[in-house]
């Protein structure tokens, strides 16, 4: 009997034990699986935690670089500015815009992020050709983290730079000050720097007000400003002068409707203007005003009672005083009434009247009408008058006809306004005033004296040196002035300041109009003269003729109006 051979696979399926697995074996297998799951779960938690820590660290660093570092860099390198409130507008009396702010962008760079300074500079120079490639390269190669490239880009420039897509270039939102009227109101409105800080004119005086968002409305009437600018420019051109100044003042309120100084400048590019262009001849420059000062000398004499309007002084020959000779441009060589002294603009007659006034009385009067202190005005460009520290008798005589004392055009118009408006001195203002904001002013001469001055000024235009200022229907009165210009070594030969200060309507004064032309040259049309009567008086006449209808002042019939010529003209020898 054969024995069966043992199987090589005792646990093969054909010989497997059909018994189920033991519980202990199953429990051991379940424990191994649980430990594997727990190990994987712990490793997953550790990995996620490490990833979260890394993510937070990177985020904090990005925040530090992008916000905190950037903010510190900006505050250290750029001016701090509150852009939530735009710099407010400046307007004329009718609401016409003179200055406003526009949103703009400025380009800056972080040189540390610029990979190719030379290449970037070349690309920027193509878009911004006014910038130097070499200077741009130097800026972009700097070790700083912030450099300005260009302020106040145009939208087209900003778009072109943005299209370059160069890391390290960025924009900052800013404001740009613009002046819609250009140079027309430059000396009044002024200008700001690139950071919108006021540097001149109203922009400087009202810097805090404008920054707070409060608009400033001026007394200027842009229509009148344009007329004054146009006619003053014409006079300067016609007589080949080097400059000029003009003003239109409300004789009863002190409001300035127009103020021009030429040459002028573009306030947007004030840095490119010459000192002469930026210089305000209307308020900052002080000049000997010549015969226009005879108005004050005569008013002082009449008001104090030292002479009457029909009294005479002997102007038959020149005066020699303290080594000086006082003479007339066109001497009459005879006694003259006070009316004739003004009409013929006699230096001799005015000096003799001043002798009657006396030195102390004259000085006090000049002080009372503001000629010995800075004129009150809302812009910083206000010149201080120049006058003798030791006011001697010879000074008294020369000051009578506007030599030996230098004041601004603003001094002159405010003083003349007081002489014709009934005798009330009011400070000039560039700010629009309502009726209840007009100051009461201070009386400086009697109303009767003011009436006499008005009649004398009308006489000058009717039959004296100011004939070329006459405008039919508007009762213009005024006074001519021609003064030699002072140089570093005394008076300059053939250099003069020609002026005319006019008032209209002289029977009920509304406006004082001044035109001054600096160093005019004679021409054929003036028959070789370059005096106030030939140069400035015609300009004032044209200004009155153009502005009166705009301001609602109708012409009057001189022959039918009771307060016309017959009522104003003062009888003067030789006038008929």
Residue 10: pLDDT over 60: no
Name the phi and psi angles at 529, rounded to 5: -100, 150
Residue 386: pLDDT over 90: yes
In the beta sheet, which residues pair with residue 102? 176
pLDDT value of residue 162: 93
Burial class (CB in 10 A: 0-12, 13-18, 19+), 93: middle
Residue 164: pLDDT over 70: yes
Nearest by Cα to 388 from 374, 379, 378, 398: 398
String of DSSP letters for 503-522? EESTTS--EEEEEEEES---
Rounded to whole angstroms, the Cα distance separating 231 from 237 reads 10
Element (H, E) at 91: strand 90-91
Q: Does residue 54 or residue 276 have the better pLDDT?
A: 276
Q: Does residue 388 or residue 565 have the better pLDDT?
A: 388
The full length of the chain comes to 576
Q: How confident is the model at residue 567 (pLDDT cuts 50, 70, 90)?
A: very low
Q: How confident is the model at residue 59 (pLDDT cuts 50, 70, 90)?
A: low
Return the DSSP state at 218: B
pLDDT value of residue 80: 45
- Contact at 8 Å (CB) between 470 and 538? no
For residue 123, give both structure tokens: 């690309």
pLDDT value of residue 69: 42
Q: How confident is the model at residue 34 (pLDDT cuts 50, 70, 90)?
A: low
Q: Read off the pLDDT of residues 193-212 as tens digits, 9 standing for 90 and up.
A: 989 999 999 999 999 999 99
Residue 174: pLDDT over 60: yes
Report the predicted TM-score, pTM, of the whole model to 2 decimal places: 0.81
Which residues fall within 8 angstroms of residue 507, CB to CB, at 6 or more apart? 454, 458, 475, 561, 563, 564, 567, 568
Q: How confident is the model at residue 487 (pLDDT cuts 50, 70, 90)?
A: confident
* C-alpha distance from residue 194 to each of 74, 198, 427, 504 (Å): 16, 10, 33, 43
pLDDT value of residue 263: 98
Residue 5: pLDDT over 90: no
| Domains and their CATH numbers in the chain | 90-111+146-217 (3.90.1310.10), 225-568 (3.40.710.10)
pLDDT value of residue 341: 97
Residue 513: pLDDT over 50: yes
pLDDT value of residue 198: 98
Return the DSSP state at 279: S
pLDDT value of residue 493: 78
In the beta sheet, which residues pair with residue 480? 500
In the beta sheet, which residues pair with residue 248? 258, 513
Report which listed range, 81-90, 273-282, 323-332, is most confident.
273-282
The shares of helix, strand and coil residues in the chain, as percent rounded to the nearest 5, are 40, 20, 40
Q: How confident is the model at residue 489 (pLDDT cuts 50, 70, 90)?
A: confident
Q: What angle do CA 521, 478, 435 make, to 5 degrees?
A: 125
Nearest by Cα to 220 from 266, 178, 181, 177: 181
- Contact at 8 Å (CB) between 458 and 428? no
Q: Are strands 334-337 and 312-315 parallel, antiparallel or unpaired?
A: antiparallel
pLDDT value of residue 58: 63
Residue 88: pLDDT over 60: yes
pLDDT value of residue 271: 94
- Contact at 8 Å (CB) between 503 and 415? no
Residue 48: pLDDT over 80: no
Q: Over pLDDT 70: what percentage of the chain?
A: 82
pLDDT value of residue 554: 92
- Contact at 8 Å (CB) between 297 and 395? no
Element (H, E) at 431: none
Q: Are strands 511-518 and 243-250 parallel, antiparallel or unpaired?
A: antiparallel
Q: Does residue 79 or residue 248 have the better pLDDT?
A: 248
String of DSSP letters for 106-127? EEEE-GGG-S-HHHHHHHHHHH
Q: How confident is the model at residue 479 (pLDDT cuts 50, 70, 90)?
A: very high
Residue 475: pLDDT over 60: yes
**pLDDT, the chain, mean:** 87
Q: How confident is the model at residue 20 (pLDDT cuts 50, 70, 90)?
A: low
Catalytic residues: 291
Q: Which stretches of 342-392 are assigned E, i.e. beta strand? A: none
């Amino acid at each position: 009997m054969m024995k069966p051979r043992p199987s090589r696979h005792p646990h093969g399926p054909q010989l497997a034990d059909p018994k189920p697995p033991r519980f202990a074996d199953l429990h051991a297998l379940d424990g191994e699986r649980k430990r594997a799951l727990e190990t994987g779960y712990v490793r997953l938690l550790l990995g996620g935690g490490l990833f979260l820590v890394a993510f937070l660290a990177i985020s904090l660093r990005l925040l530090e670089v992008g916000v905190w570092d950037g903010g510190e860099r900006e505050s250290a390198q750029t001016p701090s500015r509150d852009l939530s409130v735009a710099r407010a507008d400046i307007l004329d009396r009718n609401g016409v815009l003179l200055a406003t702010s526009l949103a703009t962008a400025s380009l800056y760079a972080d040189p540390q992020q610029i990979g190719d300074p030379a290449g970037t500079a070349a690309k920027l120079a193509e878009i911004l050709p006014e910038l130097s490639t070499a200077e741009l390269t130097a800026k972009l190669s700097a070790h700083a983290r912030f450099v300005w490239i260009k302020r106040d880009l145009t939208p087209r420039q900003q778009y072109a730079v943005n299209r370059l897509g160069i890391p390290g270039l960025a924009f900052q939102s800013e404001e740009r000050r613009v002046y819609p009227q250009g140079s027309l109101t430059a000396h009044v409105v002024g200008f700001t720097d690139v950071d919108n800080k006021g540097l001149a004119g109203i922009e400087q005086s009202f810097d805090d007000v404008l920054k707070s968002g409060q608009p400033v409305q001026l007394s200027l009437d842009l229509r009148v400003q344009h007329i004054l600018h146009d006619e003053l420019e014409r006079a300067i051109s016609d007589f080949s002068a080097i400059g000029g100044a003009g003003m239109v003042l409300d004789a009863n309120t002190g409001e300035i409707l127009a103020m021009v100084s030429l040459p002028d400048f573009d306030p947007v590019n004030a840095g490119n203007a010459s000192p002469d262009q930026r210089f305000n001849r209307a308020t900052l420059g002080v000049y000997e005003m010549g015969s226009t000062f005879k108005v004050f000398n005569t008013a002082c004499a009449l008001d104090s009672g030292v002479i009457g309007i029909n009294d005479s002084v002997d102007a038959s020959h020149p005066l020699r005083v303290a080594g000086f000779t006082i003479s007339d441009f066109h001497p009459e060589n005879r006694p003259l009434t006070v009316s004739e002294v003004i009409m013929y603009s006699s230096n001799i007659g005015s000096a003799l009247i001043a002798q009657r006034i006396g030195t102390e009385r004259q000085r006090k009067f000049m002080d009372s009408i503001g000629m010995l202190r800075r004129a009150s005005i809302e812009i910083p460009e206000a010149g201080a008058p120049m006058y003798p520290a030791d006011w001697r008798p010879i000074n008294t005589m020369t000051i009578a006809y506007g030599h030996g004392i230098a004041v601004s055009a603003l001094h002159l118009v405010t003083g003349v306004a007081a002489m014709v408006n009934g005798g009330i001195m009011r400070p000039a203002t560039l700010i629009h005033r309502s009726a209840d904001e007009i100051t009461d002013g201070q009386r400086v001469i009697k109303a009767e004296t003011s009436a006499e001055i008005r009649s004398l000024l009308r006489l000058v235009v009717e039959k004296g040196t100011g004939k070329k200022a006459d405008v039919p229907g508007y009762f213009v009165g005024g006074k001519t002035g021609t003064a030699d210009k002072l140089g570093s070594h005394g008076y300059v030969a053939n250099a003069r300041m020609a002026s005319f200060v006019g008032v209209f309507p002289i029977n009920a004064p509304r406006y004082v109009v001044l035109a001054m032309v600096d160093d005019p040259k004679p021409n054929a049309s003036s028959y070789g003269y370059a005096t106030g009567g030939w140069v400035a008086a015609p300009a004032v006449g044209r200004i009155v003729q153009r502005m009166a209808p705009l301001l609602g002042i109708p012409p009057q019939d001189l022959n039918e109006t009771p307060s016309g010529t017959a009522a104003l003209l003062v009888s003067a020898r030789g006038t008929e």
